[in-house]
Structure 1
Amino acid sequence: MVTRKWYSHPVIAAGIAVNVVVLALAVAWSGPDATQLWRLLGEDGIVEWMQFLCFAVISVLLGFVASERWKRSPRVSLELIALVGLAALTALAALEEISWFQRILNVQSPEFFLQNNRQAETNLHNLALGSASLHKTVLLKLIFIAGITHNLILPLLARSRPAVQRWVESMGLYLPPLSAAVAYLVLVILSHLLIEHPRKGELGEMFGAVHYLATVFTAYFIGVAYGKPPVFENAADGRRVSTLFVTVVAFLLLLAWLLSAGAGATGAP
């Protein structure tokens, strides 16, 4: 296990920096003219594309970790099933975020989604559920409970009861460093306090995607606050790949900006 402080690891620091930059943009673009803020938070905007990119990369990372675990121990285990399941879940989240490329490819929604989707899009999370959507009625509540448990409750318990972390890791999961998790949660709270916009919740979702991108990489690949052997067990290799991954984290924000422009996110509600 790598025991260094979270803020001394460049990948986690880069993830926090990206989230701070996006929050600063949101605050700077708030005001009477909301055009730029819509460009940031609207459909096919910078924040939505950033979520897609982070979830897509996380899915690839988890799939790679699963393949490495299989090579080390070629047998079906709870740990392997969890990693493959999480890889599939994050891939689904990525595709749902951009409605399976529907708007990019200009594909008409099937009749079922036209009748039952709150935004008439081909995705599951906006399916109508009563007067709201599946996302607002169910998924947001589940995400909140899972997020608080994974980032606050379990890491706090693990500080006095190391068996908690061993139990989590035995299931193929990991616990984020507590300080990094607190930084993420503080940014979410600030986004709700400082921004007035009907889609300001997208900021918190993006902060979570970036947070998990950084902590998944540092746990499984480098061994930060992780008790099992990481992918890169050699410290020198870990430092080199971490430096490269910092550039990836920064590049994803630039790519999200370019994709939002290409998708026609003009700032209109």
Structure 2
Amino acid sequence: MVKNKWYVHPVVAVGVLVNVFVMLLAILWKGDQTAIWRLLVEDGIVEWMQFLCFTVTAGMLGFLAVEQWQRTPKINLQLLAFAGLTALVALAALEEISWFQRILHIASPEYFLSHNRQSETNLHNLAVGGASLHKAVLLKVIAIVGLTHNIILPLLARKRPAVRAFVERFGLYLPPLSVSVIYVALVAVSHLVIDHPRKGELGEMFGAVHYMTTVFAAYYIGVGYGKPPVFEQPADSRRVSTLFAMVVVFLLFTAWLMSAGAGAPQYMASHPIAAGASAD
């Protein structure tokens, strides 16, 4: 049975609150250049939160792939979806922090020094014309896919349940429309209200938190999902939801600590605020 009341499930509700908190933080700090750069700089709070959320999401999807194989040891659409999404999200996590390059102080190979707009060892900042691959292609694809998955398809599914069944046939899920509207609204507000060259990082973090919590809610608890979730018993789903909600908050604290000790101060020291920095 599809459970649509996302707000009664602490994981999704806490995910929304974390995103709202960071948005309010950005608004409060937008007049303080040191503070807002600490929030949005490379290896800053928002970027580490993205990495942590992507990593947890990849782990959850990988677990689902293993569970799917153990339940039905054959290759089907569900298994391919879980395996493919695991690889995709893990790639996003590693790309977000340039494969630990800055943390481990590893020099970029010659190819990336010549073709990467930030001279880093990652793919999303490769030069495409006068912009990066991230700006020229990926952002457009993400916007189209994100709006389709979060707004268009959930709207259609409200009147046509067959739409949800069709999506789930491919091993995917539809997030609750109400929480998706909040997510999209926060992205829009971050672009309208925050005047900063790296304000796009806020939208990326909102997406990372949104998908981490809705993936858990759908596949593990059954929120907005028509197939049997991992935890089918109400008592088990309630306990694990409470624990995971605590993890979501802990991730934000961890990102804050990692930004202080794993790169943000050093990056800011070598990239003066007055000179600006890349928004990629």
The answer for the alignment partner of 1:121 in structure 2 is 120
The answer for the alignment partner of 1:154 in structure 2 is 153
Q: How far did 1:13 drift? A: 0.5
Provide the rounded CA distance (Å) in 1 between the counterparts of 2:104 and 2:163.
Answer: 46
Q: What's the CA shift string for 1:57-100, capped at 9, x where partnerless?
A: 00000011111111111110011111100000000000000000
The answer for the alignment partner of 1:3 in structure 2 is 3
Residue 93 of structure 1 aligns to which amino acid in structure 2?
A: A
Q: How far did 1:264 drift? A: 3.1
- Specify every segment of 5 or more residues in structure 2 that has no aligned partner in the other structure, as ranges: 274-280
Q: What's the CA shift string for 1:77-134, capped at 9, x where partnerless?
A: 0111111000000000000000000000000000000000000000000000000000
The answer for the alignment partner of 2:211 in structure 1 is 212
Provide the rounded CA distance (Å) in 2 between the counterparts of 1:3 and 1:173.
Answer: 16
The runs of at least 4 consecutive aligned structure 1 residues that moved more than 4 Å come to: none
CA contact (8 A) 2:218 2:229 kept: yes
Q: What TM-score do the two structures reach when normalised by structure 2? A: 0.94
Report sequence identity in percent: 69
Q: What TM-score do the two structures reach when normalised by structure 1? A: 0.98
Residue 14 of structure 2 aligns to which amino acid in structure 1?
A: A
What count of residue pairs does the alignment treat as equivalent? Answer: 268
Q: How far did 1:2 drift? A: 4.3
The answer for the alignment partner of 1:19 in structure 2 is 19
Structure 1 vs Structure 2 CA RMSD: 0.9
CA contact (8 A) 1:2 1:222 kept: no
The answer for the alignment partner of 1:144 in structure 2 is 143
Provide the rounded CA distance (Å) in 1 between the counterparts of 2:11 and 2:78.
Answer: 25
Residues 1:85 and 2:80 are matched in the alignment? no
Residue 243 of structure 2 aligns to which amino acid in structure 1?
A: L
Residue 63 of structure 2 aligns to which amino acid in structure 1?
A: F
Instruction: List aligned pairs for 1:85-234, cutoff 5 A.
Output: 85-234=84-233
Q: What's the CA shift string for 1:159-214, capped at 9, x where partnerless?
A: 11111100100101000000010010111111112111000010001000000011
More displaced, 13-22 or 257-266?
Answer: 257-266
CA contact (8 A) 1:10 1:243 kept: yes
Provide the rounded CA distance (Å) in 2 between the counterparts of 1:7 and 1:238.
Answer: 14
CA contact (8 A) 2:103 2:263 kept: no
Provide the rounded CA distance (Å) in 2 between the counterparts of 1:224 and 1:21.
Answer: 23
Residue 183 of structure 1 aligns to which amino acid in structure 2?
A: I
More displaced, 65-74 or 143-152?
Answer: 65-74
CA contact (8 A) 2:4 2:176 kept: no
- Specify every segment of 5 or more residues in structure 1 that has no aligned partner in the other structure, as ranges: none
Provide the rounded CA distance (Å) in 2 between the counterparts of 1:147 and 1:211.
Answer: 11
Residue 189 of structure 1 aligns to which amino acid in structure 2?
A: A
Q: How far did 1:40 drift? A: 0.4
Residue 17 of structure 1 aligns to which amino acid in structure 2?
A: L
